[in-house]
Structures are given as structure tokens and as C-alpha cells.
A = this chain, B = another copy of it.
Amino acid sequence: MATETRKLVILTEGQSEPITAKTAVSVLRYRPEEVVALIDSTQVGKTTDQVLAVGGKTPFVASLKETKGADALMIGIAPAGGKLPEAWRKIVLEALEKGMDVVSGLHQFLSDDAEFVAAAEKHNANLIDVRQNSERDVANWEGVSEDCLRIHAVGQDCCVGKMVVCIELDQAMKRQGVDSKFVATGQTGILVEGDGCPIDCVVSDFISGAAEKLVLANQHHDVMFIEGQGSLAHPRYSAVTLGLLHGCRPHGMILCYEVGRTSVSHMQQVPLKSLAELRDTYEHVAGLMLPSKVIGVAMNSRLVTAEEAEKERERVRAELGVPVCDVIRHGPDDLIEAVINLRQQLVKQ
């Protein structure tokens, strides 16, 4: 779907914050040529670069009427629970009435809504629910090749940048001439990569089976970077994290976190576990299926200065004894080296 060239208008009305609008941010970062404008009447006159630090001069506009040449409207947020804000219904309907497709990564499927379905049919438009899936197979541990290196991004929390880390590492490996693949497991990653599985929307009994299928489908590459979800210590989403971890059985993990965050995303009453405790937890729990180590740490330092980031990098490197970098601020070289080292170790075995 997302591999075709589209001209998108992205809807983030009143919610143009980097974390809330993470779908918009990632599409702007990795598919900027597809984005015509963002709709947010509270940001009119600004560029996405000013508000979200990505996307260059892409403008904010107040409504669909002020956009030209777009063929699809994309829902640009990823809220907990995945529901469409009620006030956005009329904008979705307006897009459908113009014959535009509507692309959504929400849990609440547009295609389950009778009014949207009727409007889409009437105006020959498509409702594209990226999270919709019919996964109904359990994991079997059959046919998995050990020739393709499986690297999995895991997190201290959700919304820390696991997807960005995987994409940046994948692109860096490709630049070195390695046959690498970014394996998307969330709606935003799927929109960027054009394939993948919306793993958090799979029925629980089949999540590891769905993850295993992603491995089987992509193991003709030499390396895969499998996007992680949530955190083993997240009160809401740990099941998603574990089903994916056990389904993909990584050879190595990269632990991702955001500098300065102290409590679980959207649950301020729950303090985050330390990186060291989580490193131990991930290694122990992954090891129930296949021995796996945290080979590096990806820090997301967007909220601190370069100097603070450097200090934190040193601190974590000393504490955990593995390479640490912010793939956006520092580039991915230190983590790429860790991946190449792991690959060489495994080849020798």
C-alpha cells in the first residue's frame, strides 16, 4: 500500500506534539515527498519543521479546503486505545466526499463504521485500516534460518524511538552494501516501509505466530532489524512486547530509551525501571527461547542539550558496558559496529 506514491494530507488537529503525532512525524521523516500538508488549525502559518522538527517547509493548514493535489487523508496520531477523536469524523467524511482515500492506523477501524463505508462507496474512495489483520496461526519453530541475523529493538518504555532506531540501522547497513531489511511491526512502520504486521492488534494467542511469520518472510536478507513494541515493564503493553520477542527470537537486542523520562508513558504514577534492570529482564526472558544479549543502547536525547547528551552517553556506556548512541544526533555507527561484531561471532560458532 504505502509503496505506491501517494500525496497525503495528514490530520493532527490540536495534537501536533512529537509523541502524540508520532505517525505524522515518522511519515514526514522517511516519506517527506508524499506529504502535501498537515491539518491543525492551532498551528496555521507554521511549518512542520518549526513544530515537529521534521519535514522542512511542509505547511500546517486549517482544513482540507486549503490543500491541493492530495489523494489521501492520513490519521496522524497514535493514541492509547486507538480511538478516532469524535470531532475528526466530519473531516474524514469531507475527505471521502472529495474521493480521497483515508488511511488510518487506529484500533477503531474506519471500515467498521457504517457511515464511513457508505461515503467511501458513494465517492469511490478507499478506507485503509493499517492495523486490520486476520492472523490466526500459532508459532511453530519450523523453517527458521540461522543465516539471517535477527536484531530486535526493545525499550524501557513505549514511544522512545525503537522504530526510528531500526530504520536508521537498516539504512546504514544498506549504505555498507549489506542486504538488510527493516521489519515493521507497528502501523507507522508499515506506512513507512510498505509491509509488516500490526502486531499489537493481533489476537493474543497468535501474536508470536504472526512475529514468526515476519521472520520467515524476510530471512532471505542477511540482516533484519525488527521493530519492537512497548516494554516488558509497561503495565498496558507488556504482552505485545513479549509475544513479539518470543516470536522473533532475536540473536541480539538494542535497548532504546529517552533521556530524562522517569515514568511510564501516559502513566505518571508508574516509575520506569532502570536500564540495568531492564537489560537483565530482556536477556533473561528472551533467553527462555534463544540466548540473546543487549548489544547496545540507543538513547533518544531530543529533550536535552548536546552537552547533556554526551554526559549521559558516557554514564550509560560505563554502567552497561556496551556501545551507546543517539542514532539521530550521533549517527548509528557505534550500534552498527556492535551488530557487525555480533554477526562475526555467530558465524564463527
Contacts and interface: CB of A to CB of B under 8 A. Distances in A.
Contacts of A269: 141
Interface string A51-86: 000000000000000000000000000001110000
A207 B209 contact: no
A205 B285 contact: no
Contacts of A82: 136, 205
Given A138-B81, A232-B288, A235-B139, A202 B203 contact: yes
Contacts of A243: 204, 238-239
Contacts of A273: 288
Contact of A288 (B199, B204, B246, B281): B281
Contacts of A238: 208, 242-243, 246, 288
Contact of A136 (B81, B200, B236, B289): B81
Among A140, A238, A269, A285, the one with the most B-chain Cβ atoms within 10 Å of its Cβ is A238
A205 B209 contact: no
A53 B289 CA distance: 35
Nearest to A199: B204
Interface in A259-293: 267, 269-270, 273, 281, 284-285, 288-289
Contacts of A138: 80-81, 236-237
A239 B288 contact: no
A240 interface: yes
Interface string A89-132: 00000000000000000011000000000000000000000000
Contact of A208 (B80, B107, B205, B239): B239
A49 interface: no
B200 A232 contact: no
Nearest to A83: B136
Contact of A233 (B199, B200, B288): B288
A137 interface: yes
A201 interface: yes
A239 B232 CA distance: 10
Contact of A107 (B107, B108, B200, B205): B205
A146 to B, nearest CB: 15
Contacts of A108: 136
A239 B201 CA distance: 13
A174 B88 CA distance: 52
Contacts of A208: 235-239
Nearest to A202: B204
Nearest to A236: B138
Contacts of A267: 140-141
Task: Please provide the 10 A-B residue pairs with the shortest distance between their CB atoms, ordered closest to farther.
Answer: A239-B243, A200-B205, A138-B236, A239-B239, A233-B288, A242-B242, A204-B240, A207-B239, A139-B236, A238-B246
Given A138-B237, A141-B235, A141-B269, 16 more contacts: A81-B137, A82-B136, A108-B136, A141-B267, A200-B203, A203-B203, A204-B204, A204-B207, A204-B239, A205-B236, A208-B238, A232-B285, A232-B288, A239-B242, A239-B246, A281-B288
6 contacts: A138-B237, A139-B235, A200-B204, A201-B203, A208-B236, A232-B285
